[in-house]
Structure 1
Amino acid sequence: MSRTSRLVVPLRAVLAAVLVALLATQVVVLPAVFARMAEQTPELAGLRWPLLALTVVVLACVEVVVVCSWRLLTMVHEDRIFSTQALGWVDTILGSVAVAWLLVALAGVLVVAAAGPTGVAALLLVVVLVGAAVGLLMVVMRALLVQATTLRTDLDGVI
């Protein structure tokens, strides 16, 4: 059994735990957090529902990334990762990251417009920067997958 095959089960367990945690956060934690925010920060009370909706959608984008990662992990385990089918999953990840990035940037603009530069706005700026880095990293990883897929196809043609 290869090292990659031994990692599949623990990685799937982590992905499943992340998915469950994200769902619980969307359903239980976020409504309570935004209700408390509205009570403690009256200037942001009007943003309670729009920020809650944006946050739920951003977490849904993360859930899409988790599901796509699970699928890509399955393709690695089955030695089918170097295929055009894998590119579709990577493209879906890229799309999800882009949507989440735009929504977090929008949330930052809403917070700054409502309350000025606050700690929440600073945190959102950090999330936007991290999201940009993740998105750019995924673009590079996609380019590497395209290159590896081409090389694998060429090698299969020679053999």
Structure 2
Amino acid sequence: MSRTSRLVVPLRVVLAAVLGALLATQVAVLPAVFAHMADQTPELAALRWPLLALTVVVLACVEVVVVCAWRLLTMVHEDRIFSDRSLRWVDVILGSVAVAWLLVLVAALLVAAAVGPTGVAAVLLVVVLVGAAVGLLMVVLRALLVQATTLRTDLDGVI
């Protein structure tokens, strides 16, 4: 058993925990947080429901990434990662990151338009920048996967 295969189970445990935490956050935590925000910051009260909806969809995008990572881990475990099927899962991850990035950008613009440059708007701007970095990193990793898949296919053809 390779070192990579030994890491699959612990990674799946972490991914399952992340998925559970995200679902609990969507159902229980976020509605309470946005209700509190509306009570404490009246100028943002009108944004309570739009921001809640945006946040729930952003977390759903993260959940899609977790499921795709689970599938990619399965492919690693079965030594089938260097295939066109894995590229489809990576493409879904890229799409989810792009959608989440756009929604966070919209949320940042809504908050900035409602109350101006505040701490919340600054945090959202940082999240937008981190999301852009994650998206660009995924593009680079996808290109590396394409290159490795091509090399593996060529090597299999020679052998």
Asked if these proteins are the same fold (TM beyond 0.5), I'd say yes
| Superposition CA RMSD, Å | 0.3
Q: Following the alignment from structure 2 to structure 1, what is the Cα–Cα distance between the partners of residues 114 and 131? A: 23
Normalization by structure 2: what TM-score?
A: 1.00
TM-superposed deviation, 1:131:
0.1
User: What secondary structure does 1:6 align onto?
Assistant: helix
Cα shift readout 1:109-147 (whole Å, capped 9, x = no counterpart): 000010101100000000000000000000000000000
| Aligned residue number for residue 72 of structure 1 | 72
| Aligned residue number for residue 41 of structure 1 | 41
User: What secondary structure does 2:153 align onto?
Assistant: helix
| Number of aligned residues | 159
Unpaired runs of at least 5, structure 2: none
| Aligned residue number for residue 140 of structure 1 | 140
1:3 aligns with 2:12: no
- Which amino acid letter does the alignment assign opposite residue 40 of structure 2? Q
| Aligned residue number for residue 158 of structure 2 | 158
Q: Following the alignment from structure 1 to structure 2, what is the Cα–Cα distance between the partners of residues 152 and 10? A: 27
| Alignment of structure 1 residues 3-152 onto 2, 5 Å | 3-152=3-152
Unpaired runs of at least 5, structure 1: none
- Which amino acid letter does the alignment assign opposite residue 156 of structure 1? D
- Which amino acid letter does the alignment assign opposite residue 130 of structure 1? V
Normalization by structure 1: what TM-score?
A: 1.00
User: What secondary structure does 2:15 align onto?
Assistant: helix
TM-superposed deviation, 1:5:
1.0
Cα shift readout 1:50-98 (whole Å, capped 9, x = no counterpart): 0000000000000000000000000000000000000000000000000
